[in-house]
Amino acid sequence: MNLALDPRAVESLLAFWADAGVDASYAEAPIDRLAEGAALLRARSQPTPAAPAPRPTLVVAGSPDITAAIAQAKAAASACNDLEALAAAIAAFDGCALKTQGAKQAVVSRGPGNAPLMIIGEGPGADEDAQGAPFVGRAGQLLDRMLKAASLTDRVFITNTVFWRPPGNRTPTPQEQAVCAPFLERAIALVNPRMLMLVGGASAKAMLKREEGILSLRGRWFEWTASDGSNELPALPTLHPAFLLRQPAAKKKAWQDLLTLTERLDRPERPH
Ligand code: URA
């Protein structure tokens, strides 16, 4: 069949792939999106275009581009005195390269702003990007069912390590997470939860600055520390619900983690 000559066949093939969950397409050759993002950040931080544009380079943590973007994020985040202002500041922020890689909008949070538990996922997917709220797709629906079964609905504030959908649902890079981190830390300060649940390896590694995989980190309590040392909270890594959809046998472990978490959450707080 020559697809190029038969538009109905092309349409049907595209519908088939869309049903199968394929929502992004790629060129034959790889594109260095990090370098593109770096070039963009440089262009934004240099209003006078006198000098020829520097060649894009791979952005690494600690590079001037990332350092400048993190400083901008810190300044913008610290000026926010409530969650509404924080959501607006995130939406207006141009320092994260993900914003220019096909995301429709910033996806910030859902849940009560005084929740005792904060859930931090990896980053928005296609459904979240379309609806503007975290964990609203299939994985999010599973998460909601688990939270309901653990009587945690309405007691959780849900957000992510990055606020724009990584293209093709890839894992966010440490650089993208580092640029978004000041906003996330500000959200933690404003919500002031009693503990964190870190959903998936990319969240657990970024928040805890650990290298182990999620299967080794999950179910163990760690101490999350704010970058300036001003705040510390107990944090429990667990398996990502998207992983549980692919590996239903792992649900038992995730359920154990949730029970570990609720047991601590419901324990009366000791007076200071
Ligand atoms: N996966 C995540 O990590 N976060 C979301 O918001 C959705 C899917």
- Please say if the pLDDT value at position 218 is more than 60: yes
Q: Is residue 187 part of a domain?
A: yes
Residue with tokens 């959908």: 165
Q: State how far the Cα of 36 lies from the Cα of 33, in Å rounded to an integer.
A: 5
Domain that holds residue 229: 66-265
pTM here is 0.79
Taking the centre of ligand 1 as the mean of its atom positions, its distance from the CA of residue 162, in whole angstroms, is 10
* Ligand 1 atom closest to residue 134's alpha carbon, by position in its atom list: 6
Mutate to test the pocket of ligand 1, among 23, 156, 160 (most ligand atoms within 8 A of CB): 160
Tens digits of per-residue pLDDT, 128-166?
999 999 999 999 999 999 999 999 999 999 999 999 999
Residue 44 lies in a domain: no
CA of 35 to the centre of ligand 1 (A): 25
* Domain contains 56: no
> Does 28 fall in a domain?
no
Helical H segments across the chain, by residue range: 7-19, 33-45, 64-78, 83-92, 126-131, 138-149, 174-191, 201-208, 214-217, 241-246, 251-266
Give how many domains the chain has, as a whole number.
1
Is residue 8, in this structure, part of any structural domain at all?
no
How is residue 99 written in tokens?
A: 């914003």
Residue 144: give its domain's CATH number.
3.40.470.10
Is 22 among the domain residues? no
Can you name the residues that pair with 235 across neighbouring β-strands? Answer: 196, 222
Does a structural domain hold residue 270?
no
Any domain includes 12:
no
Predicted confidence at residue 268, as pLDDT, reads: 86
Question: 79: CA distance to ligand 1 center in Å?
Answer: 27
* Ligand 1 touching residue 37 (CB < 6 A): no
